[in-house]
Amino acid sequence: MKITVLTESELRKCVTLDQESLAAVAEGFSYLSKGKATVPPVMRILVPERRGEVDVKSAYIRGPESFAIKIASGFSKNLDLGLQKSSGMMILISSQTGFPKAVLFDNGYLTQVRTGAAGALAADFLARKNIETVGVIGSGTQARYQMRALKLVREFVRLLVYGIVSKEVECYAEEMSTSLDVEVVIAGKAETVVRESDAVVTTTPSREP
């Protein structure tokens, strides 16, 4: 039995955040709404002594020849070891035999693309067509993917960002200004972002400030 193994760098070359990825996520939502998808509860393993968490997620759609099982982890104390906080991989399973077909060492990349695409699809259905100013609360990786994906469905020209770590927000503003070719303004309060934006995206689990 041959199993294909793909690394993050290889996956980045063949999967990008574009209209094709948006269409794939939209198709998945369509299957779910039609009752053709089985989505079991998330299995979560907590490792409190390392401030860690491992989640196992999957779904099965009747029709396609395979489905995936995702294993994603986040260990906050990894930063003390000079390691990144999160990691992840997926195993592609044959819907015909149950045998593994591929191992995708995406390190969370595919999740970032999928989440960004899902946000853009929601905005495409819910936000008005002529938005000019978009607000984002948070300045991490997903804040980047959300704005890149949103740019695929809305031609906004101004981006308001709020975050609690000044250096990270400044880096984010500079990067997004260049990559999206929009005016980026750093807001002093989350309230400012909400009040002055035509659409708002939140990309942080924080409940305060």
Q: Which residues are part of the catalytic machinery?
A: 70
Which among 166, 188, 176, 106 has a CA at the least distance from the CA of 141? 176
Cis check: omega of the bond before 209, within 30 degrees of 0: yes
Q: Cα(154)–Cα(141) distance, rounded to whole angstroms?
A: 20
Burial of residue 183 (CB within 10 Å: 0-12, 13-18, 19+) is middle
Q: Residues of 148-174 as b/e, b for ≥16 C-beta within 10 angstroms?
A: bbbbbbbebebbbbbbeeeeebeebbe
Cβ–Cβ contacts within 10 Å for residue 94, how many? 13
